[in-house]
């Protein structure tokens, strides 16, 4: 009887030990799984942030040249398939350097952010406004007809006419613009960007010539 009881107690002890070990191992696995899931989630967040930084302007948060060019390529494919149009508009801010020189780079940076926000607020959600460097912005906008380009451009230039209030400074800003329309002005990314860029610089140079002429007359 005593041997049977001892054997029973030994078996019971072994079973209890196995149960405790099993529960401990289960909780360890569950903890490791939760830690792995948390690590994976952090990695996904880091990858998402890295991707965002790669495709967006560090200052304004707007799409950068890489993302803009990708969206233009997609627009070319879609417009070719649908026999539709889209607008590429280059905008270069007039008189931005004097703002930096007079008020400092902090004000200049804030002004660029405000310009981006204002343009963003005047266009549709599906359109893209990108900052490609310095004080240059580029708009990609779908249009029903080529004449709609003038409407879009007017909305943006009118929006920029209102003063910007940056750190207690009231700043007036305008932009020289140049456009290209698919497919009238080109059917590739390179052709469209080059045409719009050249048109913008032609307007920029014309404005500078007129300003110098006016200054000479006043003098």
Angle at 183 between CA 182 and CA 186, to 5 degrees: 90
Instruction: Give the other-Cβ count within 10 Å of 84's Cβ.
Output: 15
In the residue annotation, 135 being an active-site residue is answered as yes
CA distance 152 to 181: 12
Burial class of residue 28 (count of CB atoms within 10 Å of its CB; 0-12, 13-18, 19+): exposed
| Candidates 92, 94, 127, 135; catalytic one | 135
Nearest to 66 by CA among 76, 80, 52: 52
**Cβ atoms < 10 Å from Cβ of 93:** 20
CA distance 113 to 63: 13
Rounded to an integer, what distance in angstroms lies between the CA atom of residue 112 and that of residue 131? 9
Tokens of 34: 């939760």
SS3 143: strand
Which residues have a catalytic role annotated? Answer: 135
């Amino acid at each position: 009887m005593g041997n049977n009881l001892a054997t029973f107690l030994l078996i019971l002890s072994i079973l209890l030990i196995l149960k405790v070990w099993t529960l401990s191992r289960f909780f360890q696995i569950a903890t490791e799984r939760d830690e792995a899931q948390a690590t994976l989630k952090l990695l996904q967040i880091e990858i998402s942030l890295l991707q965002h930084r790669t495709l967006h302007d560090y200052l304004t948060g707007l799409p950068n040249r890489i993302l803009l060019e990708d969206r233009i390529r997609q627009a070319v494919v879609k417009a070719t398939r649908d026999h539709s149009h889209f607008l590429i508009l280059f905008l270069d801010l007039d008189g931005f350097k004097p703002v930096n020189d007079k008020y400092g780079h902090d004000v200049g940076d804030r002004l660029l952010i405000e310009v981006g926000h204002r343009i963003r607020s005047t266009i549709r959600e599906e359109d893209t406004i990108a900052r490609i460097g310095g004080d240059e912005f580029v708009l990609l906008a779908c249009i029903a007809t080529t004449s709609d380009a003038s409407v879009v451009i007017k909305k943006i230039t009118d929006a920029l006419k209102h003063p910007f209030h940056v750190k207690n400074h009231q700043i007036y800003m305008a932009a020289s613009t140049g456009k290209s329309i698919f497919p009238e002005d080109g059917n590739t990314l390179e052709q469209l960007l080059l045409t719009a860029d050249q048109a913008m610089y032609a307007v920029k140079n014309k404005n500078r010539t007129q300003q110098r002429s006016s200054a000479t007359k006043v003098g």
